[in-house]
Amino acid sequence: MKLPPLATLAFAIVGIIVLLSAFTVDQTEQVIITQFGRPIGEPITTPGLHFKMPFVQHVNRFDKRYMAWDGPMVEMSTKDKTYVQVDTFARWRIAKPMQYYLRLRDERSAQSRLEDILGSETRTAIARHELIEVVRTEKDRLPKVDESLAAASEGTIGSLRPIHYGRVEIEKGIFDAAAPKLAEFGIELLDVRFKRINYNPEVLERIYQRMISERLQIAQRFRSEGEGEAARINGNKERDINEIESTAYKQVQEIRGEADAKATAIYAQAYTQNPLAAEFYRFLKSMETYGKVINGSSTIVLSTNSDLFSLLKRVDGKSHP
């Protein structure tokens, strides 16, 4: 059965109206219906098929999942006037879509508001705390210290002074300060974290120089202690050497004295056995004396009664020409 043209047109119009009236809501979405720019009814948060007035009402969709805010790297000053570059990120979601729509309209405006509030609270928190509190995770965390460096520097290098806050508590402070402000825009702040904290290049150079200076100080202390220990060892060595040489010299002189005494006793015993031996002994000693005092360039004046001259006489009592 063929429908009249008017009926076909009516069915087509009804079908178009139904298609324009129906819309689906995904499980990751929440929807606000607006009529001429004004919200109508409550936000739709349940997934499924829903209807609206065609041509008059508009569907505004918002994400229901957790969303990220990744702030830019911003340079700021700590309480001790040290400039650092802080990179912050946060997680948030749309908790009150109607309030979110009325105050912000879209995600771009929300990201801008997040940057304003979280950036401001981050700068305030960093300015209230010193650098050591920003970089340490917790206030009670004990850093690992090289015992040799700590001992060499008398505990001044490698050890950190006590602090009252840590990075985790500073992040919590930022969260507590920013969450109520964002709640006014229908945003629930879930978490805030420091992604990265870098030193300013000028500050970094000063830190490197300070680290080099501290290591040079430790090295100089080690050198001084080594030089002192070397001087002590060398002093002990010289003392031991002198003591050994003195003892050895004493023993040598004692041995020589004993040997000379024994030799003298042997000579005396040998040359006193008869007159000829004694005369021979005197002859040998005189020869030794001649060898010591007479050489090619010596001029000697002797008396004829001298013992040295007596051996220069002839056997018959006449002297040599």
| E strand intervals along the chain | 22-25, 29-35, 38-44, 48-51, 57-63, 67-70, 74-77, 83-94, 187-199
Low-confidence residues of the chain: pLDDT under 70: 1-3, 7-15, 17-18, 138-162, 271, 295-296, 298, 302, 304, 306-321
pLDDT on residue 209: 83
- Whether residues 96 and 195 fall in one domain: yes
> What is the tens place of the pLDDT at every residue in 98-115?
999 999 888 899 999 999
Q: Measured between alpha carbons, how far is 117 from 264 in angstroms, rounded to an integer?
A: 114
How many independent structural domains does the chain possess?
A: 3
The answer as to whether 315 is a domain residue is: yes
Give 45's contacts (C-beta < 8 A, 6+ positions apart).
25, 30, 31, 64, 97
- Whether residues 102 and 166 fall in one domain: yes
pTM for this entry: 0.57
The answer as to whether 205 is a domain residue is: no
Distances (CA, A) of 198 to 37, 100, 177, 267: 46, 34, 24, 98
CATH number at residue 91: 3.30.479.30
For 85, the token pair is: 């570059």
pLDDT on residue 122: 93
The answer as to whether 220 is a domain residue is: no
> What is the tens place of the pLDDT at every residue in 161-180?
667 778 889 999 999 999 99
What order do you get walking across the sheet with 57-63 strand by strand? 38-44, 29-35, 57-63
pLDDT on residue 116: 93
Distances (CA, A) of 148 to 16, 141, 154, 182: 84, 21, 10, 51
SS3 116: helix
- Whether residues 73 and 134 fall in one domain: yes
- Whether residues 42 and 94 fall in one domain: no
Structural domain of residue 308, as residue ranges? 287-321
Length in residues, the chain: 321
